Amino acid sequence: MSLRHLVVAAVLIAVAACSKPGATPAPIPVKVVVVSMFETGQITGDEPGEFQYWIERQKLDTAFPFAMGEYELRMNDAGLLAICTGGGITNAATSIMALGADPRFDLSKAYWLITGIAGGDPADVSLGTAAWARHVVDGDLLYEIDAREIPAEWPYGLLPLGAKKPNDKADGWTVDTIHFPLNTALVDWAYGLTRDHPVADSAGIAAFRQQFAGYPNAIKPPFVTIGDTMSSSTYFHGDLMTRWANDWMKLQAGSNANFMMSAMEDSGTLTALRRLSRAQRIDMSRVMVLRTASNFSAQPPGKDAAWSTTAEYPEKGRPAIEAAYQVGNIVVQQLITGWDRYRDQVPSAAPSP
């Protein structure tokens, strides 16, 4: 039965429910949810944000009104549902919670692909690079002192909640929405499917990355890797803040974690998904995060942090938007075409180095 037929059936059931107390429409089963964060202008037919390529290229032609979200939901007959949350942690958390509690959808077996653009650490990635995260760490839940007032021995004015100094949380109080470890076996499976995908290069990002002499990874053509994501509604930039992000990632997620991407929403999305998992609405073992570098989190040699913060994204970030779709869609299509297997068995792979 097609999705349109399911929607019509749900409407007919709802009408019948008026004369049959207690009857409710059967929820629509979802195989994969693609979570994007921002759109520019309209959701189709103009300059693309993170949502548009999924709608247009996957023919997500069925629209669902979504009053508690920023945009309507889109779906196709194959079982792919897409949402655009709106930017920032609060938008992401509220939009995903609204979707997860929506009685129109059965999300119990759905895989979640959170995918969008980010600022990349030039020590690890080049522009257009796609990184699958094993860890997401929130970068807003902390103490902050103005840099002009920090003790001389401190590397920066950011320290954990309840701590006495940076990089110390032995005696600190905290909250449970800072570190989100993901299903490593699923991450490694997704990486294995995509690691050899030739991420498209372009003249604009090739020219921009040449400024990063001394950063071997930054001057490479774009590639696919495994690397962790910092989630912060505060849009940080610069060598010193990138140093802090690397330290913070290891402090919160462990010595094997490696900060590669700075983004604005993922801890909000994962907070909502964790709560929905408690209510058995979704399965946290089926969640993936893929971020692609539209810009760098730190300046090149010879420039300062203010320049890095205000510089235009090369080609308006289009290469990263394209990479998020191209790399992410490999995994989406594998899950959908292999649904007979993956509906009840979460894929896994041997750990990647």
Residue with token string 């938008």 = 91
φ and ψ at residue 312, rounded to 5 degrees = -65, 145
Helix (H, G, I), strand (E, B) or coil at 148: helix
> 45 and 6: one domain?
no
Same domain assignment for residues 42 and 117: yes
Q: Are residues 117 and 89 in the same domain?
A: yes
Judgement on whether residues 192 and 296 belong to the same structural domain of the protein: yes
Going by C-alpha positions, the residue among 312, 305, 155 that lies closest to residue 238 is 305
Query: Of the candidates 308, 352, 311, 288, which has an alpha carbon nearest to the alpha carbon of residue 116?
Result: 288
- Residue 293 above 50 pLDDT? yes
Residue 68 lies in a domain: yes
Residues 83 and 1 in one domain: no
Residue 222 binned pLDDT confidence (cut-offs 50, 70, 90): very high
Instruction: Please tell me whether residues 3 and 109 are part of one structural domain.
Output: no
- Would you say 115 and 328 are in contact if contact means Cβ atoms under 8 Å apart? yes
Residue 352: inside a domain: no
For the chain, where are the E strands, in sequence order? 28-29, 32-36, 62-64, 73-75, 80-84, 105-106, 111-120, 130-132, 135-138, 143-144, 158-159, 179-181, 224-226, 228-231, 259-263, 287-296
Residue 295 domain-assigned (yes or no): yes
Alpha helices of 39-154 — where are they, by DSSP H? 52-57, 89-100
Q: How many domains does the chain have?
A: 2
Q: Is residue 235 part of a domain?
A: yes
Do 88 and 207 belong to one domain? Answer: yes
Q: Is residue 351 part of a domain?
A: no
Q: How many helices and strands in the chain, by DSSP H and E?
A: 10, 16
Give the model's pLDDT for residue 8: 46
| Predicted local confidence at residue 132, as pLDDT | 99
Query: Would 320 be classed as within a structural domain?
Result: yes
Q: What is the mean pLDDT of residues 285-296?
A: 98
pTM of the model: 0.92
Question: Looking at the predicted structure, is the pLDDT value of residue 15 above 70?
Answer: no
Does 9 have pLDDT greater than 70?
no
Q: Are 131 and 12 within one domain? A: no
- Asked if residue 131 and residue 17 are part of one domain, the reply reads no
CATH number at residue 246: 3.40.50.1580
Same domain, 137 and 65: yes
- The predicted model gives 289-316 an average pLDDT of 96
Tell whether 171 is covered by a domain.
no
User: What values do phi and psi take at 118, rounded to 5?
Assistant: -160, 170
pLDDT in tens, 231-278: 999 989 999 999 999 999 999 999 999 999 999 999 999 999 999 999
The pLDDT of residue 21 is 54
DSSP-derived secondary structure for 308-350: HHHSPPGGGGHHHHHHHHHHHHHHHHHHHHTHHHHTTS----P
* 185 and 277, same domain (yes or no): yes
Q: Which residues contact 220 (CB under 8 A, 6 or more apart)?
A: 126, 209
User: Mean pLDDT in the chain?
Assistant: 93
- The span from the CA of 222 to the CA of 153, in Å, is 38
Q: Three-state SS across 36-63? A: ECCCCCCCCCCCCCCCHHHHHHCCCCEE
Shared domain for 12 and 56, answered yes or no, is no
Domain range holding 321?
31-141+177-342
In three-state secondary structure terms, 265 is coil
Q: How do residues 122-133 score in pLDDT, each as one tens digit?
A: 999 999 999 999
Residue 182 lies in a domain: yes
Model confidence at 351, pLDDT cuts 50, 70, 90, reads low
- Find residue 73's DSSP bridge partners: 64
Containing 243, the helix (H) or strand (E) segment is helix 239-253
What is the mean pLDDT of the segment spanning 150-169?
94
Residues contacting 135, CB < 8 A, separation 6+: 179, 180, 181, 182, 228, 229, 249, 253, 254, 257
Torsion of CA 154, 159, 165, 171, to 10 degrees: -160
